[in-house]
Amino acid sequence: MVKLKVKDVEFSYASVPILKNVCVELAESEMLSVVGPNGAGKSTLLRCIDRILSPQKGCILLDERDIKKISRMELAKKVGYIPQSTTSIFSATVFDVVLIGRRPHISWRSSEEDTEKVLETLQMLNIEEFAMRDINELSGGQQQKVFIACALSQEPDVLLLDEPTSNLDIRHQLEVMDIIKTIVREKRIAAIMAIHDLNLAARYADKIIMMNSGKIFSAGDPVSVLTPENIKHVYGVESEVMDKRGRPHIIPIRPVGFV
């Protein structure tokens, strides 16, 4: 069943076009990776889907309803967004940060149910031991898990992630990706992830779209999108793509035309 449909979306910042004719379809329990060079419009696409930005043309349908017709608060119960890096955040315990994710569901007092949800999410991400620690004392990888927990306690149907693995060591990269994959399967969430690491994208995504200057250059399963030709055209990089257990593995060789 189609959960999310992005139809002919166009977006420009003060007449500089960022997105042109972007169409995406995503079903529940599906994980889509958006790849492309810097400035290709990956983050802008995520922001449009969460209505942080409003596209000038086209529409975005969530369960066949136009998101423009859904109130902010209602949308917040359906779409969770984990932006790239955080501006320094105020001092708060991990528990309280995750509790903030319950915002769309609570009025003023948090209920027993909210507490239970927070505990459940902390357990899911295996960060219970940090619950009472201050978030600013944690490492980058641990903080990222806290923010994922924050978005999950929102109980969204669609999860948007902007570079969830940037600044993380390889162990945390894999942990975070495994967690996301598991959540997508178990909670039947649809996830869209903007990501730079082509190998992580190839390994975890069900579908990949490759963007180039605001347009979708190629879309499909990892094998059909991550080809040497596409990578050369979009990134200007010569590469070798190998097959690792049915998933492509990319080894970049050199920038095209660079001596």
Partner 1 sequence: MKMTSSAETKTGLEKRAEIKAQYKKFVGRKILFILSSLILIFIIAGVSATLGSYPITVIEVYSIIWQGILEIFQNAVFIMSHGIKKFYQTYFTTKEIVIWGLRLPRIIMGILAGIGLAIAGTTMQGVVRNPLASPYTLGIASAASFGATLAIILGAGFVTGKYIIIVNAFVFALLSSFIIYGLSRYKSATPETMILAGIALMYLFSAMTGILQYFGEAEAVKEVVFWMFGSLGRASWDKLSLMSIIIAFCIPLIMLKSWDLNALGVGDERAKSLGVNVEQTRIVCFVLASLVTAGIICFTGTIGFIGLVSPHMCRMVIGGDNRYLIPASGLFGAALLLGADTIARTIIAPVILPVGLITSFMGVPLFLYLIMRKRKEYW
- Two structure tokens written together for 35: 């790849």
| Binder of partner 1 out of 106, 111, 253, 254 (CB under 8 A) | 106
Among candidates 225, 246, 193, 200, which has minimal Cα distance to 31? 193
DSSP 3-state of 23: strand
Starting at the earlier edge strand, list the strands of the sheet with 16-27. 16-27, 2-13, 57-62, 65-66
- Two structure tokens written together for 154: 């929102």
Q: How far is CA 254 from CA 40, 186, 202, 240, in A?
A: 21, 40, 20, 10
Neighbour-count burial of 77, counting CB atoms closer than 10 A to its CB (0-12 exposed, 13-18 middle, 19+ buried): middle
Of 11-19, 84-92, 214-222, 235-243, which part binds partner 1 (CB under 8 A)?
Answer: 84-92
- Verify binding: residue 144, partner 1, rule CB under 8 A: no
| Binder of partner 1 out of 86, 111, 139, 224 (CB under 8 A) | 86
- Verify binding: residue 83, partner 1, rule CB under 8 A: yes
- Two structure tokens written together for 37: 């060079």
Q: What is the Cα–Cα distance from 102 to 90, expressed in whole angstroms? A: 18
Number of C-alpha atoms within 13 angstroms, CB side, residue 3? 20
Of 13-21, 22-30, 131-139, 232-240, which part binds partner 1 (CB under 8 A)?
Answer: 131-139
- Verify binding: residue 204, partner 1, rule CB under 8 A: no
Window 215 to 254, contacts with partner 1 (CB under 8 A): none
Which CB sits closer to partner 1, 128 or 238?
Answer: 128
| Binder of partner 1 out of 21, 23, 89, 113 (CB under 8 A) | 89
- Verify binding: residue 45, partner 1, rule CB under 8 A: no
Interface ranges with partner 1 (CB under 8 A): 47, 50, 52, 72-77, 79-83, 86-87, 89-93, 95-97, 100-101, 103-104, 106, 108, 115, 119, 122-124, 128, 131-132, 134, 136-137, 147, 150-151, 154, 160, 179, 182, 186
